[in-house]
Every structure is written in structure tokens, then in C-alpha cells.
Structure 1
Amino acid sequence: MNWTDERVEMLKKLWADGLSASQIAAQLGGVSRNAVIGKVHRLNLPGRAKSGGQAKVRTKRPAATTPRAPNYASRTTTRSVGRSSGATALKADTEVVAYQHIDTRPVEDVVVPISRRLELVQLTEKTCKWPNGDPLQDDFHFCGNDSDESSPYCGYHAKLAFQPSSERKRSR
């Protein structure tokens, strides 16, 4: 297929009207979407979206909260976002509102068990094997509290060691 002057003028008109490369290819007939995109690039036709400004970040914080109330933080961001239309990257101003839920737990929910301070040779199948301290120091010990048969740790240390994958992803 050759690009005749009439077809190029029709391409320019349809491009200016805001049709997609697929729609233009269908109207012209006998030409692929990729061929339309290539010709648009070779003709240096302008993009159809308004190009960018600077990114602005505004953060709103709630008033002081009690320790039991969940803490919510929101952030409104205005930024230029690249949008791909065929092979033509266009910029458009987009306002994005992101909310982040911060879960604060009451102090009463956290109960750290008192360690029995066992050494390695004192551990059994039913004792918590959570290490405390630096193994190269004299004060190194293991938790030693009672553990389930299915876990090497007591209930408290099992919650620390085995977090659901969704919580690990959120904390990053």
C-alpha cells in the first residue's frame, strides 16, 4: 500500500479529529494500525492531549486522635501522567487522591510474654525457640515459653514470625 497525497490528507484530518489509530486504519482501509502510527510519527503530527505541569503534593492530616481510634491519612497529588495511545506517548494532567489506612492498635492488645531465658540445651519440642539477643554475647537466650506442637514458637512469637502475605506487602 502506498501513501498517496489524498490518503495522507485524510490521515491528518482524522488524526486532528481525535480518532484512534485503529479507527483511522479502518476508515482508510488496506492499512494496519501500526502503519498509521508509523506514518503519524514520520509526519510529526502533534499529540492530542494537553502536556504537563509540575507535580504538586498536598498532605492533609487529621486532628489529634486517641490511641484507640484508627488513624487515616490522605494525600492529594496532581501530577503529569503519561498515557499511551498507540505508540504515541501523551501527557495529561491527572489529579490522584490516595488514601492510606494506618491501623494503630491499642496498647492493651500487646502482651509480651516474660521469657523463661532458656539456653539451647534446655529447649524441648514444647518450648518456644525464639532467640533473644546476640548469639555472641553471654546474655543470649531463647524465650522458652510453652508452644503448640505444630509451631516452634509460643503464640506471641508465632504472630511475629508468621504474618499473612497481605500484611507483609502493606508494611513495605
Structure 2
Amino acid sequence: MNWTDERVELLRKLWAEGLSASQIATQLGGVSRNAVIGKVHRLKLSGRGRATAAQPRAKKVAPAAAPVKVQTRPAARTITATVGATALAAQFDAEPVVHQVLRPIEDVVVPISRNLSLIELTERTCKWPNGDPLHDDFSFCGNQSGESSPYCGYHAKLAYQPASERRRAR
């Protein structure tokens, strides 16, 4: 979740109004209570007392000489569950955004599998499984593997991801 300028301003406004972190998280949508608390601490927002209905709230008015341009986007409609421990859990109608990460293709040569059975494997054969172990046509790749790996070069690239790519995928 990215903290845009608009969302930060809304967070500041709701925090100043005395809303709880849970209420702010529900209003913002797509963010947890803990994320709101963390952002409040990083912004070094002052502690505030609880606002009550009897206390009138002062509204901040922007100066006339400096018009404020705020871009808003339609918020997802929230539905609040009212059962058990999930009484305040919010459910969202909006579909989650899926980001597809494409890795560059580097001279990838897919080996032709030798389709070896378990008893045909040796120390120097690729042990990458092909198919479902419960079916009769289950086999292993069987191509030549490296000295320090149970897989051939192609399957080793599939099995072992560099740490930088694992971090980037999160």
C-alpha cells in the first residue's frame, strides 16, 4: 500500500478529529490499524484527546489566495461484518490489483526430459519431478546435474531464486 499525499492528508485530518486507528484504517481502506499507527508515529503527529460529540470542532479554512487542488478517486464501498470477533472487520467490493512481474528471458533452453523412474536416478541425474506422483506416467527429468545440485541447470534456475528477486516480488 502506498501512502499518497491525499491519503496522508486524510490521515492527518481524521487523526486530528480524534478517530481511532481502526476507524481511520476502515475509512482509508486497504490499510491495517497497525499501518495507520506506524504512519502516525513516522509523521510525529501529536497525541490527542478523544473528541466527544459535545465539543464543537474548529474547521481549518485554506487561505483564499492559495487554492487547494485535491484529486479524489472513488473509494471502494465497505461492508462491515457484525458477527463475533470480526465485528469491525471491513470487507471490500473492489477487486485487488494484481501486479505481474516479468523477468527478462536470457537464452533459456528447456531440456527434453529423459523421463526416468525413481530406481533409474543416480547422483548425477536431475531429480526434478514431472507430473503427479499418484499417476502411472510420473517421472523425473533425468538430465545431467551439476556436482553440487540435485537439478540440471534449467531446473536449478527454477528451484533457486536469487535473494534480490525474492525481495522484489514481495
User: Which one has the bigger strand percentage?
Assistant: 1
TM class by shorter-chain length? 0.3 to 0.5
TM-score, normalised on structure 2? 0.43
